[in-house]
Amino acid sequence: MKYIARRVVAIIPTLFIVSVIIFWLMRVLPGDIARNILIGADGQGNPRPEDIEALREQLGLNRPLVVQYGEWLFGMLRLDVGNSLWTDRPVFDELFNRLPLTLQLGMMASTTSLFIAVPLGIIAAVKRGTWMDYTARVFAIIGLSIPGFYIGVLLILALVTWFDWVPPLGYVNVWEDPIANFQQLIWAALSLGYVQAALVSRMLRSSLLEVMREDYIRTARSKGIREMDVILKHALRNSLLPVITIVGLGMAQIIGGTVITETVYNLPGVGRFMVDAINHRDYPIVQTMTFIFAVIFATANLIVDLSYTWLDPRIKYD
């Protein structure tokens, strides 16, 4: 508990630095939210400078930056950061309407990556030097070389060209129609999970090869234990420590990947909403979403560190 408390306390300055950086970046980017609102979605408006200044005052954008930052940070602590500058709806209402989709997509991508990476890494290690090993390594190198959003585009093109089938666009809630929901999200989850699967399979192969050279593995084999049991019960568990680290860090990759992937697949999740908010210079939305992503990432890393003690009882936290 002392270790967890120290880690939680250590997260606070990290989140503070993230909040300062994103607040500053949004202010130095070119563009004016007040001007964008007055121009309108069709881009045909021609607002007068006095109208722009009046709207800036109404939105509170002409106040000192320190005051704006303090109000936003205090609002984060109260879970009330005000309204979106573009839609004029509460920020957290906008996020909570879209967050379930992004969380489901992230979970599906993580699960998909593990289902692909673990068998692939084991086969590559056990069949080292064979065609299976080389095939798995080529699969991993391709995944590490191609961006996730580009894989999403290639998947759509492959489905249209080879199977004359287009994934359903839009979004259906999983509780309304699970089959339609699965058809919509599985391809986005595959494009996100493939990149992480490539990295995890490479790491698992290297770690498993190193563990299989240990003395206790030879001892287990000399006792007549089946090779599959030696690999799964003795070698695999002890080779998962670096893999778990990669999985935890991969959360950031999946979270960042949803921003583009949801746009490619026309999914109304948090990632696509963030792209729209950046285009509109909607400061509260972008700042709040980035801060929440940072909290999720920090929490995932803490969970990964705590899982080490379950995988290796020799590890103790003081």
Where are the domains positioned within the chain?
2-91, 99-311
How does residue 77 score in pLDDT terms, banded at 50, 70 and 90? confident
pLDDT of residue 226: 82
Q: Angle at which helices 91-126 and 283-311 pack, to 10 degrees? A: 40
**188-225: b (≥16 Cβ within 10 Å) or e:** bbbbbbbbbbbbbbbbbbbbbbebbeeeebeebeeeee
Residue 142 has pLDDT above 80, yes or no: yes
Q: What percent of the chain has pLDDT over 70?
A: 90
How does residue 40 score in pLDDT terms, banded at 50, 70 and 90? low
Mean pLDDT, the chain, integer: 79
In CATH terms, is domain 99-311 a member of 1.10.3720.10? yes
Structure tokens at 13: 């300055």
Ramachandran class of 45: left when φ > 0, alpha when ψ lies in -120 to 50, beta otherwise: beta
CB 152 within 8 A of CB 185: no
How does residue 113 score in pLDDT terms, banded at 50, 70 and 90? confident
Residue 187 has pLDDT above 70, yes or no: yes
Structure tokens at 231: 């690999």
Q: Rounded CA gap, 60 and 54, in Å?
A: 10
Structure tokens at 11: 């997260």
pLDDT tens-digit readout, 206-255: 888 888 888 888 888 888 888 788 887 778 777 777 777 777 777 666 77
pLDDT tens-digit readout, 271-300: 778 888 887 778 888 888 888 888 888 887
pLDDT of residue 311: 65
| Higher-scoring residue by pLDDT: 99, 310 | 99
Count helices and strands (H / E) in the chain: 14, 0
pLDDT of residue 136: 86
pLDDT of residue 121: 86
Q: Which residues contact 237 (CB under 8 A, 6 or more apart)?
A: 311
pLDDT tens-digit readout, 250-270: 766 677 667 777 777 778 888
Residue 42 has pLDDT above 60, yes or no: no
Q: Rounded CA gap, 13 and 264, in Å?
A: 35
Ramachandran class of 176: left when φ > 0, alpha when ψ lies in -120 to 50, beta otherwise: alpha
pLDDT of residue 316: 65
Please give the single-letter amino acid code of residue 157. L
